A and B are shown apart, each in its own frame.
Chain A
């Protein structure tokens, strides 16, 4: 699986959009980009995933660059409950996934 690089921490004001970047320059053509988040003392929670096209669901939007070497997770209206560690993962198959250390997002009132 390709390696990902994320900033260790970010802040966001409540009600504003949170944009979390991820670099995955060694991604291969058939690897998916996944985002999960982990709130303290809980298991990771799936947010969204994509292959080539941008994706949107009720939680977030995923923007993948045309060359697929980076992506951005967008939380359109961040709330205090969105404070968590966000993990970007690239995964080829149903097996091993490498999480890395993620980005700690702190949403501030």
Chain B
């Protein structure tokens, strides 16, 4: 079956541009997560949705970062006025339930390069 998909796979932006990254989770999955992964480091948590509710956004690095999941399925991570330090791979993951005993299924990521 289809896994988590993300688009675009690669994005090059000029500093100051706004970008929007899309995540299509596995159908029916309740939970959705966004992570940021800098080169050579592990993924860092950004935000978490349970259906359409954003329950945790403690990892968003600044108010330039905004995530939404309006209908409880597809999610978009938006970065306004991109900076060079925003260059990273942005990973999306979904999981079927909303409890601790619950693996996450990851997408391939979007590699963002800010020039």
Binding site for B on A (CB under 8 A): 30-32, 34, 36, 42-46, 49, 51, 85, 87, 91-102
Q: By the criterion CB–CB under 8 Å, are A46 and B104 in contact?
A: yes
Binding site for A on B (CB under 8 A): 4, 31, 33, 35, 41-45, 48, 50, 55-56, 58-59, 91, 93, 95, 97-109
B77 → chain A closest CB, angstroms: 15
10 A-B pairs, CB-CB below 8 angstroms? Answer: A43-B107, A44-B43, A49-B101, A87-B42, A92-B100, A93-B100, A94-B31, A94-B99, A95-B48, A95-B56
Chain A residues touching B, majority SS = loop
Residues in A with CB closer than 8 Å to B99 are 93-94
Chain B residues touching A, majority SS = loop
Q: By the criterion CB–CB under 8 Å, are B42 and A94 in contact?
A: no
Residues in B with CB closer than 8 Å to A93 are 99-100
CA distance A85 to B104 in the complex (A): 17
Residues in B with CB closer than 8 Å to A32 are 100-101
Q: By the criterion CB–CB under 8 Å, are B100 and A31 in contact?
A: yes
Nearest residue, chain B, Cβ from A91 = B100
Q: By the criterion CB–CB under 8 Å, are A49 and B45 in contact?
A: no
B12 → chain A closest CB, angstroms: 17
Question: With contacts A46-B103, A95-B48 known, what are 13 further pairs, Cβ within 8 A?
Answer: A42-B108, A42-B109, A43-B93, A43-B106, A43-B109, A44-B43, A46-B104, A87-B42, A93-B99, A94-B48, A96-B56, A96-B59, A99-B35
Residues in B with CB closer than 8 Å to A31 are 100
A43-B109, A44-B91, A46-B105 are contacts. A94–B45 as well, Cβ < 8 Å? no
CA distance A109 to B11 in the complex (A): 37
A30 → chain B closest CB, angstroms: 7
Residues in A with CB closer than 8 Å to B31 are 94-95
CA distance A44 to B44 in the complex (A): 12
